[in-house]
Amino acid sequence: MIVETSPWWREYRGWVFILVIAAVFGAIELRLFSMQVINRPDFLKMAATNRIRAEIVEPVRGRIFDRHGELLVENRPSFTLYAIPWTIKKNPSTVDSLACVLDLNKEVIRRRIGVRGWNTFYPTALQRDLPFEKLARLEATRLSYPGIMFRFEAKRAYPHPETVHFLGYVSERAPNEANMGRGRFGLVGKKGIELVYEDQLGGEAGVRYQQVDASGRITDFLTDPPPLDAEPGLDIYLNIDAGLQEYAYELMKGRDGAVVALDPLNGELLVLLSLPDYDPSLFAGVLPADEWKSLTSDPGHPLLNRAVQGLYPPGSTFKMAILAAAVEEGIADDNYHIECRGGMQLGRRWFKCWNAGGHGTVGRLEAIQQSCDVFFYSLGLALGVEKISQYCRELGFGKRTGIDIDSELPGIIPSVKYLDRKYGTGKWTRGQLANIAIGQGDVLVTPVQLAVYVAAIATGRIVKPRLANRLVDTAGGSVQEVASEVSSLKLSPETLDILREGMRMAVNEPGGTAYWLRNPGLIMAGKTGTSQNPHGEDHGLFVGFAPFDRPLIAVAVVIEHGEHGSTSAAPVACRLMRRYIEDLYPGPQPGKQIRPVAVSEQADSSASD
């Protein structure tokens, strides 16, 4: 007889069941203890986050003034409509309602709300400068739009259209851009002074705390934690002369190009004009895609700041640099003369002078005065590429000037290495070197470089051009000056005297390329230029300074498709210099009589450079 025995655990299964139940409930109790005691501070913080919302208070941007205190950029009051993505996500019908009120496509609204993702409590701008009738309609039925809020903000206004390229503009911070300042996420500088001095202009954001209900509606503003006040941005005073800038704008008469004027003693920029221009207020709100496409596809390239980004062959304005190198190297002394018969034969090619009849015997001063190409062909061939590059860089070409504005280009001053890389080792010709010597071929410069260059000739100093003059804290009363940066030019005084005298003769002596613009009341010095343009009519250029014996202003003008510098760019520059001197010394003074140029005298110019 077989006796079955039960497994041992069957006798203890009651105890096993009790132990399992105890373990389960023990784990639950441990978890509850952890949640209610150990992790209680963290959960309280999370609960407060759900109940309390931190609202960023955007600071007021600093204003921008010219050197005389004229307001160039101001803040005007406006309302901005914001949406909180997380709340809108929970109340999708809000998008449909907003589309009707704002006259916007639903997809456009969703795209704007979700630009930083939908799982965020940070407000996203839906529409800036909200019209009053829309504001009133939304405010009257606010409970029907959970997730929206209004803010009273300052909108940038630019009353001077001629200043747009150096002032720049503000726009929405892109999602991939870091926060500017203390938690700021709204409009930030994107171009020009607005960008370069963003940290100073933008100020520091404040914060206030709101109590919200489960739907995200604001129920109260809290004092604990205490709010943090926003700190307004600093005001900036520029060196720009708004009146002179406007006058330059009028003189250009809608032509494309650039005008740069500065104080040759310290680099203070008086005029920085680029044409064509655009309306910077377009960027203050949410820029529609079609308007952005229209701007970027415009054949006139209005967004291009020609003063610092426009690359042009300098033409004959470059000739002082070549003469400076030749004099310093002992090539062009007092006895150096050439015979100009209207051109020079180099190999199988005839390199013509602009004066097909020839200039006859030409020395150093006459070469600048009459802008003889043959004279400079000879100097270029004698100097070689490396010497030309060395002295041109000393005069500020081929490198950035350091102007306090974004996107400046360095231009091109060719060297042997550059030419070998572009054309092949030893495959470039003496003809290309001759072209370089008259500012054509591979030479490219910016208008601001031309202004620094002519200022260096006028004073013997290389200046770093500056737009900003000082930063002012209106709340604290402190003033921070923007220092000048000036260095001595490594050219002998004798060389500079030759360059200056040649430029004086170009404007004031018969045969000079700008002689028809002479004025006994104000002795100016200058150099005309015409640069070849493969895409159309040639560009007209002029560089100059005044007064001759005590330079107070240096000017560079480039007029695209102006054909001849003597008849397009030179009149603009000379009138600009005269206006500036008149403003500095108003009223009748010795040597300041301004004699207008008669129409009949314009034919007095025999030059076409």
The predicted pLDDT at position 558 comes to 97
pLDDT, average across residues 304-310: 95
d(CA 62, CA 161) in angstroms, rounded, equals 19
Task: Provide the β-strand partners of residue 55.
Answer: 208
CA nearest to 509, candidates 524, 499, 494, 497: 524
Averaged pLDDT score across all residues of the chain: 84
Query: How many H helices and E strands in the chain?
Result: 22, 23
If you average pLDDT over residues 268-289, what whole number do you get?
A: 81
What kind and span of H or E run contains 56?
Answer: strand 52-57
Is the pLDDT score of 33 beyond 80?
no
Residue 195 has pLDDT above 90, yes or no: yes
Amino acid letter, 163: T
Q: Give the pLDDT mean for 436-450.
A: 96
In this structure, of 133-142, 159-168, 598-607, the range with the lowest mean pLDDT score is: 598-607
Residues 6+ apart with CB under 8 A from 37: none
Predicted confidence (pLDDT) per residue in 506-544, tens digit: 999 999 999 999 988 899 999 999 988 877 788 999 999
Query: Is residue 600 scored above 60 in pLDDT?
Result: no
Q: In terms of pLDDT, which residue wins out, 453 or 209?
A: 453
What local confidence, expressed as pLDDT, does residue 486 receive?
94
Picking from 322, 313, 486, 311, the residue whose alpha carbon sits closest to that of residue 410 is: 311
Q: Which pLDDT value is given to residue 234?
A: 95
Identify the DSSP state of 115: G
Predicted local confidence at residue 11, as pLDDT: 63
Tell whether the model's pLDDT for residue 602 goes beyond 70.
no
Model confidence band, residue 43 (pLDDT cutoffs 50, 70, 90) = low
- Residue 559 and residue 565: Cα distance in Å, rounded? 8
Mean pLDDT to the nearest integer, 77-102: 78
How confident is the model over 346-371, as pLDDT tens digits?
A: 988 999 999 999 999 999 999 999 99
User: How much is the pLDDT for 194?
Assistant: 93
Q: Is the pLDDT of residue 215 over 60?
A: no
**DSSP at 234:** P
Helix (H, G, I), strand (E, B) or coil at 495: helix
In this prediction, residue 198 carries a pLDDT of 92
Task: Answer yes or no: are the C-beta atoms of 209 and 53 closer than 8 Å.
Answer: yes
More confidently predicted of 343 and 98: 343
Contacts of 282 (CB under 8 A, 6+ apart): 169, 291, 295
Stretch (H or E) spanning 265: none
pLDDT in tens, 280-290: 777 665 666 77
CA distances from 261 to 72, 198, 288, 309, 403 (A): 18, 25, 36, 16, 13
- H/E stretch holding 135 reads helix 132-140
Q: What number is the average pLDDT over the span 48-77?
A: 83
285-299, 308-322, 431-445: least confident range:
285-299
- Give the lowest-confidence range in 17-31, 247-261, 293-307, 522-536: 17-31
Tokens (6 digits) for 163: 């200043």
In angstroms, rounded to a whole number, what is the distance separating the alpha carbons of residues 466 and 483?
9
Residue 328: pLDDT band (50, 70, 90) is: very high
**pLDDT tops 90 at residue 242:** yes
Answer whether residue 252 shows pLDDT above 50.
yes
Q: How far apart are CA 536 and CA 256, in angstroms?
A: 13
The tens digit of pLDDT for each residue in 72-83 reads: 998 887 778 888
What is the predicted pLDDT for the residue at 99? Answer: 78
204 versus 462: the higher-pLDDT residue is 462
What mean pLDDT do residues 115-133 have? 74
| CA 8 remoteness from chain centre | 89
What pLDDT score does 217 carry?
60
- Rounded to an integer, what distance in angstroms lies between the CA atom of residue 454 and that of residue 61? 36
Q: How far apart are CA 396 and CA 399, in angstroms?
A: 7
Q: How confident is the model at residue 50 (pLDDT cuts 50, 70, 90)?
A: low
Minimum mean pLDDT among 203-207, 339-343, 381-385, 463-467: which range? 203-207
Residue predicted with more confidence, 609 or 283: 609
**pLDDT-wise least confident of 13-27, 204-218, 259-273, 566-580:** 204-218
Helical residues (DSSP H) of 561-607, grouped into ranges? 569-584
For position 592, what pLDDT does the model report?
42
Q: Residues near 1 by Cβ (< 8 Å), separated by ≥ 6?
A: none
pLDDT for position 3: 53
Give the DSSP H/E element, type plus range, for residue 493.
helix 493-508
For the ranges 181-185, 271-275, 457-461, 495-499, the lowest mean pLDDT is seen at 181-185
pLDDT above 80 for 202: yes
pLDDT at residue 376 is higher than 60? yes
Of 371-385, 555-569, 576-590, which has the strongest mean pLDDT?
A: 371-385
The three-class DSSP label of residue 208 is strand
State residue 255's pLDDT score. 92
pLDDT reported for residue 47: 55
Least confident of 193-207, 461-475, 567-581: 193-207
Q: 427 or 207: which carries more pLDDT confidence? A: 427
Residue 520 preceded by cis peptide, ω within 30? no
Burial class (CB in 10 A: 0-12, 13-18, 19+), 239: buried
Bigger pLDDT: 111 vs 119: 111
On the question of pLDDT at 504 being above 80, the answer is: yes
Lowest mean pLDDT among 10-14, 182-186, 572-576: 182-186
Q: Where are the alpha helices (DSSP H) in 182-318?
A: 192-196, 198-202, 242-252, 289-297, 306-309
Comparing CA positions, the residue from 99, 76, 253, 35 lying closest to residue 162 is 253
